[in-house]
């Protein structure tokens, strides 16, 4: 089921019932699991390892080198799970050496037209990234996240489980799980009740998140003039917190107290100015000062 006008490298490994359309390109070392579909003019390269039943639409470009100044040209990796859909002009890049060398995508995700997944990103399961979503490097998207169209996400940002990001938002700090965030600058506007219902959460679980939202992020809570850290401490002091509320509190605390600029992953970054010398040169600072 490989079209005669497609190119498939002899070192690529294709599972059963894989379909490859005309002018598609499957590069060296690529692995495609059973029942994958690669439409015409799609490109999969860089030794990308893909699971089963993934669909790649025309002009999708998967597994190319990262657009990062610290990338040294090494053979880094991209791992993709099962049942993902990559629509037209989606781009996904491999990792960089300094960050561990891996971009990872889970299963049952939808990446709509023009989505970009940069180097060293981690995307969980059951997510929808709408048209024009742009993930910078090192972003972590947890499970069941929905992102609206034309959203930009700052590097090292975490978007928590079942969060909803409204269209045209500018995301520069971590998004708490179960919350609705939108705007520029972005802020919490509510909690994702509809998403929780769709994914089968009970009325008790939804009510727990509702009360947590009211305590932490509602306009009433903000009018009380109490810092978020104190509101969080009061919520954590309650006798019993169910699993979802406890997870929400832990995520907010990590971002607020352990993070840098509101991004918990920012503290873990390992790159340095030396990693970028190949672009700027050692005497960059002197040139900038006119010396």
Residues recognised as catalytic: 119-120, 137
190 beta partners: 180
Q: Are 128 and 108 in contact (CB under 8 A)?
A: no
3-class secondary-structure state, position 192? coil
- Give the full edge-to-edge strand order of the sheet including 77-80: 13-14, 31-32, 49-50, 77-80, 102-105, 122-123, 140-141, 158-159
The CA distance from 101 to 74, in Å, is 9
The CA distance from 211 to 201, in Å, is 15
The CA distance from 255 to 156, in Å, is 11
Using CA atoms, how far residue 222 sits from 17, 160, 162, 172, in Å, is 56, 22, 23, 21
Q: How far apart are the first and last CA of the chain?
A: 62
DSSP 127-158: -EE-TT-EE-TT-EE-TT-EE-SS-EE-TT-E
3-class secondary-structure state, position 29? coil
């Amino acid at each position: 089921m490989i079209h005669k006008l497609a190119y498939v490298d002899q070192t690529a490994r294709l599972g059963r019932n894989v379909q490859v359309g005309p002018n598609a390109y499957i590069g060296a070392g690529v692995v495609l699991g059973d029942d994958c579909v690669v439409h015409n003019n799609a490109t999969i390269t860089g030794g990308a390892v893909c699971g089963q039943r993934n669909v790649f639409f025309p002009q999708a470009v998967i597994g190319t080198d990262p657009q990062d100044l610290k990338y040294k040209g090494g053979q880094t990796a991209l791992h993709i799970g099962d049942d993902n859909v990559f629509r037209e002009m989606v781009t996904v890049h491999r990792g960089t050496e300094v960050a561990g060398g891996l971009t990872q995508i889970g299963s049952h995700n939808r990446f709509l037209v023009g989505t970009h997944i940069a180097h060293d990103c981690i995307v969980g399961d059951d997510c929808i990234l709408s048209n024009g979503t742009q993930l910078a490097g090192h972003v972590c998207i947890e499970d069941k996240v929905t992102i609206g169209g034309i959203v930009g996400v700052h590097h090292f940002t975490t978007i928590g489980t079942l969060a909803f990001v409204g269209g045209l938002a500018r995301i520069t700090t971590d998004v708490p799980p179960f919350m609705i965030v939108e705007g520029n600058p972005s802020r919490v506007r509510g909690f994702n009740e509809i998403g929780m219902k769709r994914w089968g959460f009970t009325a008790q679980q939804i009510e727990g998140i509702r009360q947590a939202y009211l305590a932490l992020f509602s306009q009433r809570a903000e009018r009380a003039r109490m810092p978020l850290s104190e509101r969080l401490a009061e919520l954590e002091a309650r006798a019993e917190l169910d699993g979802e509320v406890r997870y929400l509190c832990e995520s907010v605390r990590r971002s607020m107290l352990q993070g840098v600029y509101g991004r918990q992953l920012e503290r873990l970054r390992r790159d340095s100015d030396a990693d970028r010398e190949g672009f700027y040169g050692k005497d960059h600072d002197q040139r900038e000062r006119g010396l």
